[in-house]
Structure formats: C-alpha cells, structure tokens
Structure 1
Amino acid sequence: MSTREWSPLRAAVALVSAVGLGAGGLLLGFALVTLTLAVLVVGLGLELPDTAQIVLSLVFVQGVGCAGVAFAYLKLRPIVAPKIRSLLGFDGVPGPFDIDAAVPSLRQVAIVVGGYVLALGGAFAGSILITLLQVDTGTNQAAEMGMENPAILLILIPASILIIGPGEELLFRGVVQGRLREVFGPVSGVLIPSAVFAGLHWFALSGGSPTGNLVALGILVGPALVFGAAYEVTDNIVVPALIHGIYNATLFSLLYVVVAFSDQLPDPQNSTAAVLALF
C-alpha cells in the first residue's frame, strides 16, 4: 500500500479513477460476456445451457474484467500516472503501488477465520432485519438461476473461492481501496470502496422494490467492510480473497441445501430471499 497524499484536486481524481476502475472492470466483463453470447448464440446458432453461461460469466466478469483490470492497472500505472500528474500540475512522482500476495501466516489465518465469522454473521443478521422490516428485496441473478437449476450452484460454490473472491478482491480491495488510501488514508480508504462495492451490486439484483434493494445493499456494506479491514490490517490480498470466497461459497451451499431439499423445508422461497439479496 502507498503513502497518503491529499489535496482537493487529488481527492477528486482519486475518487473518479477508483470508482471508474471498479465499475469499468465489471462493465468490461459484462460486455465481453454479451459479445461472446451474441457470437455463439446469434451468430453460430448454438444453444448454450445455463451452466455454460455461468462459466462464461465467471471467466469474463471476475477473471478478465476484475482481475484483468487490476493487473493492467499495476502494469500501466508507472507509464500513465506521471503523464496525468504532469497534465494536472501535481508535484513529484507517483508513489509505489503494489498488491502484495503471500501464503497467509498463522495470524492471518486467524484473521480469515474471524473475518469469515463476522461477514457471515452480518449476512444472517441482515436477513433477520429484512424479515422484520418486511421489505421486498431482489435476488442476485446468478443465485436466481441457481434456484431454478441447482447444478449452477455446484459450479458457483468452488468458483467463489477460486475465481469470484480473488477476482473481485484484486480489483476492489487491491486497486480501488489501494488507490483511495493514497489520498484519504486508511479509514476512508476502507469505507468508500465498501460503499462502492455494495452499490454496484444493485445491477446484479433482479426484482424487488427500490427501498428493499437499498436496504439489502446497505447490509452488504457490512461484509465489504470486513474484506476491506482485513486487507488494511494484513496488506495481503489473499486474506480478503479467502474471506470473500468462503463467505460466498457458504451462502451458495446453504442455498443449494434449501433448493435440493425444498420438499422437506417450510416455505423455502421466502426463507432464502433475504440471504440471496446479500450476495
């Protein structure tokens, strides 16, 4: 992580660049998915099952979009940043910027376990709050497909740890949080990316009322803060990636149990709706 460097103009540039990188990574991934599906389905006339579409989405959104933009930023920053600073009249040269990744130490493993418990506890507390408020929340589109085809959930469970967690954390904690920390310091560097991360999930929700979806996204800030704090404390991107991945895998696993054993559970659709909105 880099040292703090603040001024009003630097703050504005950091906000625009950080939010642009986060949203841009997701948009790039979705654009590639759309283009690929158009070529395969419309152009070649292929019929792709839902499982194939989910795999394509994982590869392009979390793999190419999130992770690809993160690595591209690391590669291009030393070339582009000095030119932008010169154009804006900033003094000095850009500070060092990297995303450290290492096998977690015993202390960091403890942080992974504690962070996972906090994030999952926040999800369950949020689901209870949504039930008490009786608001109409949307569901994550991938999870909604999984409710219709449980085979998708069996893909999403390992993918959460292998692709989703690492890809999204590289972009939102490694790049977005790291970029904002340069200007705003550690506290705001965790708070702002967490709000951005949760807010961008609005576009992944299907259905629900505006109020209900805002409540769900507000609750999602909780786990995002856990991911951000874990990265700030450890400076090891593997730690929040593991917390995020295991957290998502747990939710998808619980959803699979609910769907697979729906005939043995009371009112399964309502019992899972609040949790789905937190993905």
Structure 2
Amino acid sequence: MSSESELTDGTDDPISSSDPLVDVLRALVVAVLLAVVGIGVGGILVGAVVLTLLFAGVGVTPLLSIVISLALATGVGFGGVALGYLRYRGLGIDYVGIAVPSLRDVAFVVGGYVASLALLVLASVVISTVGAEPAPNTTAEMGMENPEILLLLIPASFLLIGPGEELLYRGVVQNRLGEALPAAAAIFLASLIFASIHFFSLSGAPRARLVSISVLVLPTLVFGTMYELTDNIVVPALIHGAYNATLFSLLYLTIRFAGMEELPQFVAAASLPL
C-alpha cells in the first residue's frame, strides 16, 4: 500500500527524513520491534493466565492451552499490538485497509489460496528430492496426539489466526516497511520477519527449523502480494485462514482414517503458523 509523507510516529518528527537510508533503517527497526513485541505480549498474557489457573488448581490440558494461546497470543497479543501502534501514531483502521471483499477481491482470495498451496506442494517436493529435513511444528505434533485440537484450529484459522496475524504482519509491519521501501522489498521483508518468528514454534535441530522457515516464507509472499494488490486486509486474512484450515483438515483426516503415527513431510515442511 502506498505511504503518505505526512504520517508521523507519535512525535512532531515526520516519518520521512531527508536521508533515505535513515528512513529504511527506522522502518526495519520498527517492523522487527512490532514483531517481537507482538510475540512478547502474547507470551506474557498466556503465561499469566496459565500460572493463574495452575495456582487455582485448574489443570491446563492441551486443548485448554491451545484455546488460551489462540485467544490471548494471536487475538489480544497480535491484534492488540497492531491497534496500539495505530493509536500511537494517531492513525485509524483505514491505514490497514479493511472492507467487505468485492468480486475482484474474492478472485484474489481464490487465486492466492491456490497459489499458496501450490507453492507448499512444490517446496515439499523439492525438500524430499534434495533430502533436506524439515522441522515439525509443535502445534501439529500436539494435534497428532490430541486430534480434537485440530477441529478447534480449523475455525480458529478464519476467526483468530488469519485476522490476528495479518493485521499485525501485513496491515502494520508490511505497511510500515512500505513507507520507506518499494512494495516488493516491503512484501519480502515482512514475509521474512513473519516466517522467522516461527523458529520457536518448531521442534528439532536449528538447521531443520531453517528449512521449514524457508518454506513458510513462500505462502506469506502470496499473502503480502495479494494485500498489496487489493489494499484490503480481509483478503490476506481469508487466504491465510483457508491455507491453515486446509492443512489442519488434511492432518485430521489423515490421523482419523489412515492411522498415521508420524507427522507427514507435507505438513512438517509447511510450518503451520500460529
């Protein structure tokens, strides 16, 4: 999305300075800080609630832990940080672009959904061919042991995961980068930042985690591109939600009807975002 030179960061100083390099560095620092703060706020909220429940004698089951994470980390954490940043800069929600999808937007949603899954399949084939080892996603592994969690994650993909993550990483992070960089660079950097935060939601060796992160960058590039083309945050949120819901559904069906005991590489390589 295009930036406006008069936007400010909550002070009397304009976002744009006389030095383009300073603008770029400032945008990068803010983008990374937003990602870190989003994760930090979500983690603190989840930790506080879990500790409170434990002190109250309430057992925290895997299903309950997922519910808490979805509501507080993804919803309140990511969404709250995004809205807080907009408030800090004196910007309205129109900064991220939000509207009922038009027929054109729906076409981009369908195209983006197909493209993101196609890239996932292609990346999985490449990984299998070269013999690289992806890192399993801890949420997917938890779903292997507790399939009912996957049934919760399917609607949550549309209601919390897609909207919360896209609001922060596309609506705020990508837009902030776009104020100092060309659209293509902003899309790539926002996708790289988003993929990198999943390092700690993966299990396995660091090298395997990097393999999964490199795969995760691909669908997020699609999310960012569709957002740039439509200026409507609802579009990447729907694509993101549909992408996740599809993978969670496939995993659930595989567990129930194929008696799977190990995480399939198709899902392991996907690094399901949460």
TM over 0.5: yes
The structure in which a higher percent of residues are helix is 1
Sort the Cα spacing of 1:78 and 1:271 in 2 relative to 1 into closer, same or farther, 3 A.
closer
2: CA distance, partners of 1:129 / 1:155 = 31
Instruction: After TM superposition, give the deviation of residue 76 of structure 1 in Å.
Output: 1.3
Partners of 1:126 and 1:216 within 8 A in 2:
no
2: CA distance, partners of 1:162 / 1:217 = 24
Partner of 1:14: 27
Q: 2:197 aligns with which of 200, 214, 217?
A: 200
Partner of 1:159: 156
Matches for 1:81-160 after TM superposition, within 5 Å: 98-160=95-157
Moved over 6 A (4+): none
Question: 1:30 is aligned with what amino acid?
Answer: G
CA deviations 1:193-217 (Å, max 9, x no partner) are 011111111111012x322221221
Matches for 1:179-258 after TM superposition, within 5 Å: 179-207=176-204, 209-258=205-254
1:25 aligned onto 2:38: yes
1:68 aligned onto 2:80: yes
Q: Which runs of 5+ in 1 are unaligned?
A: 80-95
Matches for 1:164-175 after TM superposition, within 5 Å: 164-175=161-172
Sort the Cα spacing of 1:274 and 1:127 in 2 relative to 1 into closer, same or farther, 3 A.
farther
Sort the Cα spacing of 1:45 and 1:276 in 2 relative to 1 into closer, same or farther, 3 A.
farther
Sort the Cα spacing of 1:136 and 1:106 in 2 relative to 1 into closer, same or farther, 3 A.
same
Q: Which runs of 5+ in 2 are unaligned?
A: 6-15
Q: 1:37 aligns with which of 50, 64, 68?
A: 50
Instruction: After TM superposition, give the deviation of residue 276 of structure 1 in Å.
Output: 4.7
Instruction: After TM superposition, give the deviation of residue 11 of structure 1 in Å.
Output: 1.3
CA deviations 1:41-74 (Å, max 9, x no partner) are 1x11211221111010001111011111111111
Q: 2:66 aligns with which of 32, 54, 75?
A: 54
1: CA distance, partners of 2:263 / 2:235 = 33
Partners of 1:25 and 1:69 within 8 A in 2:
yes
2: CA distance, partners of 1:49 / 1:260 = 21
2: CA distance, partners of 1:8 / 1:52 = 46
2: CA distance, partners of 1:108 / 1:100 = 12
Identify the range of structure 1 (223-232 vs 213-222) with the bigger mean alpha-carbon deviation: 213-222
Normalising by structure 1, report the TM-score: 0.87
Partner of 1:277: 271
The sequence identity of aligned pairs, in percent, is 47
CA RMSD in angstroms comes to 1.9
Sort the Cα spacing of 1:52 and 1:278 in 2 relative to 1 into closer, same or farther, 3 A.
closer
- Aligned residues between the structures: 259
2: CA distance, partners of 1:186 / 1:276 = 25
Normalising by structure 2, report the TM-score: 0.89
